[in-house]
Each structure stands twice: as C-alpha cells, then as structure tokens.
Amino acid sequence: MTRNQAPVLIVGGGPVGLALAGELGWRGVACTLIEQGDGTIVTPKMNEVNVRTMEFCRRWGIAQKVHACPFPADYPLDVAFVTSLAGYELGRIARPPRMSEQAGPHSPMRLEVCSQMWFDPILQRFARGFPHVRLRCLTRLEAFEVSERGVCADLVDVASGRRERIEADYLVGCDGANSTVRRCLGIGLDGETLGNPVHLYFRAPGLLGICGRKPATFFVTVDRAGVWSNVRVIDPVNAMWRLMVLDAGPGLTPETVDREGYLHRALGRRLEVDWLGTSVWTRRSVVAQHYSRGRVFLAGDAVHQLSPTGALGMNTGIADAVDLGWKLAAVFSGWGGQHLLSSYDGERRPIGARNVRMAAEFYGEHEKFGQGIALIDDPGPEGEEVRRRVGQSLVRGVGRMFRTIGLQIGYRYGHSPICLPDGTPPDPDDPDDLIPSARPGSRAPHLWLEDGSSILDLYGRGFVLLRVGLDAPDASAFEMAAASRRVPLQIIVVTEPEAADRYQRRLVLVRPDGHVAWRSDELSVDPATVLDTARGAHGIPA
C-alpha cells in the first residue's frame, strides 16, 4: 500500500465535486479529487444551469464556455403542454432562445440550457487548469478514519485493484445519493420517496416535424390519466431526446421497461427510434441530518436529493461547494476562525431543506390533474373546453417550476452565526419573485456599474467593504482591523444611485461568496467585532 497526502480530499467527480475542486483551485488551495468512474457521462441528468450557478461561472471565468455549449443558441426554450407530441397542444410557456434572451434585472447572468454531458467537462477543464488540483478517475474511496489532526482514507484503483492510503486535512463527500462518506459517518436522511421514474434516452432525427409540432425544449404530456411524462430535447443537433415517465411504479428494471409502449403514448404515434439508454431511479425528497462532522463535510446529492422539478439539484449542490470553498480557503490561509467551518451546516442545510420542499411542491402540481379530464382527447367542443381549462391550469400550476428566480438567487443565510443581523425583518422568500436585498445573510444584489461591469464582479476573492455614496463614513478603522487579522479586505466606493437603493446602507460588508455579512449607516460597532464574527472567530456579540 502506498501513502499520499492532500490538504483536501474530494470524493466524487460529479458536477458538485468538480465545482468544489475548481473553487478551491481558484482560491489557491491544493486538493485531490477521486472519482470511481472514468469521467465520462453515461446518462446526462442535468440540463438547466441556473442563474446563481452562472454567476459563479462568471466569477470563475467559464460563463462564456457554458454559453457556447453545443445547444443551439437560436433554439426556443419553450415549455409546451400537450396530450402527446402529435396530439393537441394545451398551453405553452414562451422562453426565448438563449441568443435573444437578455439577462433580467436581478443578475448579469441568465439561466443556460447546457446538458451535463457538456457542463461537467467544462468544470473538469476548469479544475484541471490549476496545477495544485489533481483529478484522479477510476479511484474509489472504500473507508476512512478521522482524528483531530486529519483524515486517513483508503482508496482502491478500480482497474488494478491496487490499494492506497491518503492523508488529508479535510475530506469532502460529493459522492452522490448513495454517498459512502455519509454512510460511514452514520448520518441519516429525513424525508420521503415520491415515486419511481424511468428515463428513456433515444435519437430521433426530425421528431418534431414528424409529429407536426412547433419546437420547444420541454414537453409535458397529459392524457386521460393525468400528467404522466415529459419529453425533453437534450441535444437538438444530434436529435437526442429523453422521455421521463414520472412514476412507473416499483420493481421495474431497464430490461423490463416497456420502452415502445411509453414512446407510443408520449408521441401519439409509432416511430422507430435509436434507443440510447434506459435508467430506472427513485424520486426522493430528502435532506441529511448533518452536513458535516469534524473534518468531514458533505455536499450535493450526498446531503439533498430533490425531485428534478425546478432544476434545483445540481444548482443547490454547487452553491454548497461555493459556501464550503471560501471557508476552507480561509482556514488554510490562516484567517478563518475556529467556528467558520461549522457555519457550513448552519448556512447550507436550511437551504437544502427549502429547495427539497419546493421541488416536492412543484412535483405535487403534476398530481393535481387526474379528475375531470376524460374528454381531453375528444375532438368536439366539450373536449375543446377541457383542453382550454386544463391548459390554463397547467401553465399556472406545473409552470411554476419554470418561474423560480427567487428560488435561484433569493436564498439567504438569515440565522447564520457569521452574519450580523441589522434588526430589519426578512423579505418574503418568494420562489418566483425577488426583492433585491442587502439584509445580512442575503446574496448581495446586482446592479450595473458605470464602467459596464456588474457590482457582483467586485466580489469573490476576499471581503469587500462597500462605501455607498460619496458621504459614506470613513472606513479606515476596518482596514486596520482587517490588516491586523490578515483578512483580505478591499474597500470600494460606489456612487451609482441604484447602489443606495439596493443596498440601503452606507457601509456594507460582503463576504468572499457574495453574501452580505453586515451593513450599517454608521461605524457604530467595532470593526474588529464585525470581522471576527464574519470570519468565524467568535459568535454573534450580545
């Protein structure tokens, strides 16, 4: 057995592990990522990279690569509700093609449709670009031991069977739903199982023309039995599609799935397709009881498994990685306080629970359409009336999962031990709306600066103290307190009138992850206390 060392050992090379490796690399922290597979994507699950993840990609300098992915920029991202692809259309949510959609008022970025088969390799290349990041495929974690000083992990080379022991300061389990790391820690999951979906991947050139259907990216199919499946184009250029049966019942295997039957029902006609793969999985709505224990952390599907309704799974996991990443980097740099890493659980677990709950709520919207729709396929006026009524309800109800700007960027660390409350009440946490807020714990709001950049571009490396307006109080005491603690701090004056409106205070301290730690109009609190709280050196002052 050989012995190796790594400051941070990341287990799992899915999007969350890769994002963490990239975030740590970007911050100058050496890490090793191990992945039991060979790094190729067999069945791509994720397709929607949400606004917050795109903001991280912008910071990492890879947003343009995501934007330039092979999904055609002029392909409409519409969502259509249909009885089948060749049947009636009941309603449609217009979502403009990527090339014509402008970013909204709340972010410099917009959601991108970019399948995991393109997104993961972008993250891989980003992480590999740092000489201090090591990505090792075909390497599996088998077990580990934790002590006060570090972690000893037992790895096996999947190809040769060769065993190896690696010593790390910290271990992060990004090893997915069946997380070995979580199980070794004995951490349970709270929640429920929502069903047994089936994925059918196929190639079908000219599918929409054959079905006489106007293009869209996502088709929700509803027949007399209710909403039962969706059909998504994954790669329009290569005619790659995925049919998801929402709940095919327990006990199926890929071999026993009636692919032809499901396809016929979804298309409303027979069609020869090239089958690419079948997967049977379990729709879960669960969150872990703890996100960390001692020197071991968990992120991504290892700690939250969401119904894909709302496209929140990977996006929530990548935000976990970003929260943990700056904290680990602060500890390695020496300025992170002793409570900083333990704030990871306190900040991210409530967000995991929130997103799991919302994804289940969106799934529940699908189940509301079983009654009173027997005539949905009837060509006569009564059928017409059913289709009109059901179509409107579908756009309103099931369509909620496509109107989620609040969910994507409105999450906040309201009760974080490393944010200093300012006594203001929280704004409503509305999934489909966002009231920009710089209340401590919130993601610092976006606005355009005079030079054409976003204010978000100021955040990332260290802390930023914004002095908002020309008459903002002098902040040199902050500078001194930061210097004596070796906390990286930049003091920046912003004079755009919108900054005063969105940030609401003349002094605002923004953390390296872009969340607000503290704000005030006056320097009424000792800057040392503010910084010590924000870097996790002590709790909230009485």
Please pick, from the candidates 46, 51, 127, 516, the single residue that binds ligand FAD as defined by CB under 6 A: 46
Q: Considering the complex, state which of residue 223 and residue 301 has its C-beta at the smaller distance from ligand FAD.
A: 301
Question: Which of 24, 54, 79, 141 touches ligand FAD by CB under 6 A?
Answer: 141
* Minimum CB distance to ligand FAD smaller for 244 or for 356: 244
Strand runs labelled E in 12-138: 31-34, 48-49, 79-82, 89-93, 112-113, 133-136
Q: Which of 315, 393, 404, 437 binds ligand FAD (CB under 6 A)?
A: 315
203, 234, 257, 261, 278 from 254: Cα distances, Å: 17, 20, 6, 14, 6
Q: Please give the structure tokens belonging to residue 210.
A: 């054959």
Judged by CB, which is closer to ligand FAD: 176, or 441?
A: 176
Give 131's DSSP letter.
T
Q: Are 471 and 506 in contact (CB under 8 A)?
A: yes
Euclidean distance between CA atoms 204 and 226, whole angstroms: 25
Of 7, 13, 22, 337, the one binding ligand FAD (CB under 6 A) is 13
Q: Which of 113, 131, 125, 118 is nearest to 32 (CA)?
A: 131
Two tokens at 17? Answer: 């592990």
Only segment of 7-15, 221-229, 429-437, 443-451 that touches ligand FAD (CB under 6 A): 7-15
Nearer to ligand FAD, 314 or 418 (CB): 314
> What residues from 153 to 192 belong to the interface with ligand FAD (CB under 6 A)?
174-176, 180
Q: Which CB sits closer to ligand FAD, 141 or 468?
A: 141
State which of positions 397-416 bind ligand FAD (CB under 6 A): none
Applying CB under 6 A, the span of 29-37, 76-84, 93-101, 285-293 interacting with ligand FAD comes to 29-37
Cα–Cα distance, 516 to 410 (Å, whole number):
13
Q: Out of 6, 9, 35, 227, name the contact with ligand FAD by CB under 6 A.
A: 35
Q: How many alpha carbons lie under 13 Å from residue 18 in its C-beta half-sphere?
A: 23
Smaller CB separation from ligand FAD, 344 or 478: 344
How many amino acids of this chain bind ligand FAD (CB under 6 A)?
Answer: 31
* Least distance CB 301 / ligand FAD (angstroms): 4
- For residue 363, the minimal CB distance to ligand FAD (Å) is 12
Select the residue interacting with ligand FAD from 257, 298, 314, 356 (CB under 6 A).
Answer: 314
Given a contact cutoff of 8 angstroms between Cβ atoms, the answer to whether 296 and 321 are in contact is no
Minimum CB separation from ligand FAD for residue 286, in Å? Answer: 12
Query: Site for ligand FAD (CB under 6 A): which residue of 25, 87, 313, 514?
Result: 313
Burial of 460-491, coded b for 16+ CB within 10 Å and e otherwise, reads: bebbbbbbbbeebeebeebeebbeebebebeb
The reply to whether 223 sits near ligand FAD by the rule CB under 6 A is no
Phi and psi torsions of 32, nearest 5°: -120, 130
Q: Rounded CA gap, 16 and 13, in Å? A: 7
Query: Interface residues with ligand FAD (CB under 6 A)?
Result: 11-17, 34-37, 45-48, 140-141, 174-176, 180, 244, 300-301, 308, 311-315, 317
